[in-house]
Each structure stands twice: as C-alpha cells, then as structure tokens.
Amino acid sequence: MDKLSIGIDLGGTTIKMAIVDPKGNIVEKWEIPTDTSNNGRNISQDIADSLKMKLENANLELKDIEGIGIGAPGFINMENGFVYHAVNVGWENYPLKDDLESKTGLEVIVDNDANIAALGEMWKGAGKQASDLICITLGTGIGGGIISNGTILHGTNGMAGEIGHITSIVDGGADCNCGKKGCLETIASATGISRIAMEGLDQNPTSVLNKTLGKGMKVSAEDVFNAAGKGDAWAIEVIDSITHHLGLAIANMANVINPSRIVIGGGVSRAGDLLMVPLKNEFSKYALPRVQDGADFAIASLGNDAGVIGSARLLSLKSQN
C-alpha cells in the first residue's frame, strides 16, 4: 500500500492537520489550538500527542506514514527546518524539524506557510498543476509563494516571494510590521484597505462607509467592497488605488517569473470580480504583452485546505528527487 503523508499548517491561533493520500486527497483532517505560552515550546508535543491519537483511532502505524510536512510562519532555514523567528507563535532560534522528529518518530520537512499554500493550490487547486505559478494571499498581511519549473522558489536564504514587502510608495507611506515604510502590505492587505478607507472619510462625507464608522465600528475591507458594489464613489476610489499598486507589483513579478497562473487567495479574494476586474486591468498596463498572454488569473479554490495539502506535497516532492 502506498504510504500516507501528514500535512500540517501552523497558524498563530490554530494548527490544522490532515492525513493525505499520495494523490493529494484528504483522508481525514482536524485542528488543535496553538499554545503560544512559554514561547511556543509546547507546540511540537501538542502536535505529536494529537497525531498519535488520530493514528491510533484510524488503526494506522508509523510504518504507514511517509512523514510530516509542515508549513510554519516566520523566517526558516529550509535545509534544516530551523525557525529563526516566528512572531505569531513566539519562536526564536527554534529547531522545529529536530524537535518534531524526536517527538513523533517521523521524518519532518519544514517550509514557509505562504509557500505551502502555493504548493497546495498548484497541486490540487486553482493552480491546475501549472509548473510556473505565483500565489498571493491577501489577508491581514500579504503572503506570496512562487513555483518555478514545478519547484518552490526559496532564494538564497528562504526569502523569495515576499511580495508584501515590495516598496510601493517611495519616500513615505505607512509603517509596515517589517520595519520599512510604504510596503505593498500596508496598502493592499485587508488591514491596509481598512486604513486607507478610514483616512479619507473626512474628505468624503457622503460615503456610506461613514455610517459604519458612526456606529463606532472600524471600516473593514469587506465593508469597502460591499460599498463599492453599491456604487459608493469613495469605496470605488479606494479599490482603484489598491488594485493599481497590487497590479503593478504583480506585473513586475510576472515580467521576471513569466508564470502561467496567478492565484489570488486570502480573505480579500472573496470580493470576487470587485477585486479581480480592476486588478487585471492594472496588471495589463504594466505586464509585457507576451507575459500577459501567458498568465491566467484565478481565485484560490482550496481555502483552509491549501496549507495541509501543500505541506503533504513536500513529502512526495522529496521522494521524486
């Protein structure tokens, strides 16, 4: 019998886990809370305990499992699975691979959470197994993963794909969590869209978004897209602005990578055509014609399963090499 793989997507709030077959189908999935106390030192043991229980309940043994693939946030050494810094879970200089292997008895492969989402979408989702793909996640921040010739592009020290930290506003712009100013993440993330929308409400008193602010609630990215769908002029202006910056950044990446698929995921992607139509228009202004001809846009289709499927794929890719 072909061996199964364990895919894990480690987040700051929950740890998503799945047993995945060699074709990328989820056999069983579950999640456990992320214990960030004690600088996240309990996480590996929590994973091991939960996995042991699941395998016993499924009448599976360690010999039935190929290994564990895990996507983690933060800065990672892909060779040895060492996490230099992961703010959301409290890790600093943490040997994730070694620790998890010692606690589970299984081989562990570690990669960045944005990369494994891209890998999942490529394998079983909107990427449609494209060998050259850019996946961008628009959520609280902006994550990015690049697949080149069927392989995750890591760069010299694991930092490839950081589209959220492309400088979009030179000599100014909002402060970014990375320490720079004017990063794309400060503009086109859900947080950035909210900030920009609220900053302009004083100059746009007729915008329906003032009603949300008047109720004492923060204007969300979802509020902005809903208002734009109803024809609100300020909301439409905000979307035009953020898709300009996002489309320009994606076009510049595409001119270098020449992808066949550009997959947009994360909570902001739920806006559908209200996001994608102006985004494609802006992309077309800056992408080379042949690059544009070769690149199809798609909204990510796997949702929360992208991470666990992509993590499991790490094992099958290693066995192919």
Comparing CA positions, the residue from 199, 237, 239 lying closest to residue 219 is 199
Average pLDDT, consecutive stretches of 10 residues, N- to C-terminus, the chain (321 residues):
91 94 95 94 96 95 96 89 87 95 97 93 95 94 93 90 94 90 96 95 94 81 97 98 98 97 95 98 98 97 94 83 57
Torsion of CA 262, 253, 146, 47, to 10 degrees: -100
| Single-letter code of the amino acid located at 99 | D
- The domains located in the chain, with CATH, are 4-111 (3.30.420.40), 126-299 (3.30.420.40)
Reported as type and span, the H/E element at residue 309 is helix 305-320
**String of DSSP letters for 74-124:** SEEETTTTEEEEETTTTEEEE-HHHHHHHHHSS-EEEEEHHHHHHHHHHHH
- Residue found by looking up tokens 């004083």 in the block: 202
To 10 degrees, what angle do helices 43-57 and 96-104 make? 40
Write down the pLDDT at residue 14: 93
- Residue found by looking up tokens 């492969």 in the block: 109
Please give the angle made by the CA atoms of 162, 224 and 243, to the nearest 5 degrees: 40
- Residue found by looking up tokens 């364990």 in the block: 6
Cα separation, 128 vs 132, in Å, equals: 11
* Bridge partner residues of 264 (DSSP): 136, 299
Task: Kindly report the pTM of this predicted structure.
Answer: 0.89
Q: Is the distance from CB of 254 to CB of 290 less than 8 angstroms?
A: no
